[in-house]
Amino acid sequence: MQITLPMVSAIARSPQLWPTAARAYRSFVPARWWSRRPFLPVPDRAWMHFRLETAYGGDGTPSATAGEELVTYLEWLKRQRR
């Protein structure tokens, strides 16, 4: 998963979104993650590549505004859960 420093710092500056970010991340983790390598709760590489490619096009490299986009997405997600 390509998490960039701007993405991490954008979330770090928004503590009110930390629970929403944790729930969103957990939703990306495959079921029974502990039963297959790398034995860590990380999203499937192929699935994440597909998600990034559909979001950013080309090779799926996040844009320079990826941190802002992530915060916008998490704010939207938080509103939807109310």
Which residues have a Cβ under 8 Å from the Cβ of 73 and sit 6 or more positions away? 24
Residue 75 sits in which domain range?
A: 41-82
What tens digit of pLDDT does each residue of 60-71 get? 888 888 889 899
What tens digit of pLDDT does each residue of 9-38 get? 999 999 999 999 999 989 888 899 899 888
Say if 45 falls within a structural domain.
yes
Say if 10 falls within a structural domain.
no
Q: Name the 3-class secondary structure at 4.
A: coil
Number of domains in the chain: 1
Average pLDDT, integer, range 46-67: 85
Other CB atoms closer than 10 Å to residue 54's CB: what's the count? Answer: 9
Say if 24 falls within a structural domain.
no
Q: Name the 3-class secondary structure at 79.
A: helix
Say if 77 falls within a structural domain.
yes
Say if 8 falls within a structural domain.
no
Say if 67 falls within a structural domain.
yes
Say if 66 falls within a structural domain.
yes
Other CB atoms closer than 10 Å to residue 67's CB: what's the count? Answer: 21
Residue 44: what residue type?
D
Say if 28 falls within a structural domain.
no
Instruction: Specify the pLDDT at position 3.
Output: 64
> Three-state SS across 11-44?
HHCCHHHHHHHHHHHHHHCCCCHHHCCCCCCCCC
Instruction: Specify the pLDDT at position 11.
Output: 92
For the chain, give the longest Cα–Cα distance: 36
